[in-house]
Amino acid sequence: MALASIDIGLLFEVVWASALAGAVVSVLFALVVLFGARSAETRRAGHGTVSMAYGVAAVISFAAFMGLVVYAVHLMLSKG
């Protein structure tokens, strides 16, 4: 009787939403680190244009990561 009350659909939603959110967080921050490091390396090697491209990619990745953080705070504050 107790097991019948479990909402399998809800559990499935929790699993995929958590997995997706976790993967996006990991990938975005890893990209920030990767592009930031590549930007510094290419700048030291004297490749200004490539360095700037990596820098822009790092900034975009970081903005997306911080966007997730802001959305997380929004979720915290709007929970019912």
Partner 1 sequence: MDNDLVLWIVVATALAFDFTNGFHDTANAVATSISTRAMAPRVAVTLAAILNFVGAFLSLQVAATIASGIVEADMITLAIVFAGLIGAIFWNLLTWYFGLPSSSSHALIGGVVGAAFAAEGPDAVIRDGLIEKVAIPAVMAPILAFIVAGTGILVTYRIVGRLRPSTVSRSYRLGQIISGSLFSLSHGTNDAQKTMGIIFLALVANGNLTTSDDIPTWVVVSAATAIALGTYVGGWRIIKTMGSRIIKMDPAQGFSAQGSGAAVILAASHAGFPLSTTHVISGGIMGAGAAKRVSAVRWGVAGNIVVAWVLTLPAAALVGALTYLVVHLFGDGAAGPVVVSAVLLIALGVAMARRVFQGQTLTAEG
Which spans of this chain sit near partner 1 (rule: CB under 8 A)? 1-3, 5-6, 10-11, 13-15, 17-27, 29-34, 36-37, 40, 69, 72-73, 75-77, 79-80
Q: 27-40 burial, b if ≥16 CB within 10 A, otherwise e?
A: ebeebbeebbebbe
Rounded Cα–Cα distance for residues 45 and 37 (Å): 12
Q: How far is the CB of 46 from partner 1 (least distance, A)?
A: 19
Q: How far is the CB of 56 from partner 1 (least distance, A)?
A: 18
Q: What is the residue type of 51?
A: S
Q: How far is the CB of 12 from partner 1 (least distance, A)?
A: 10
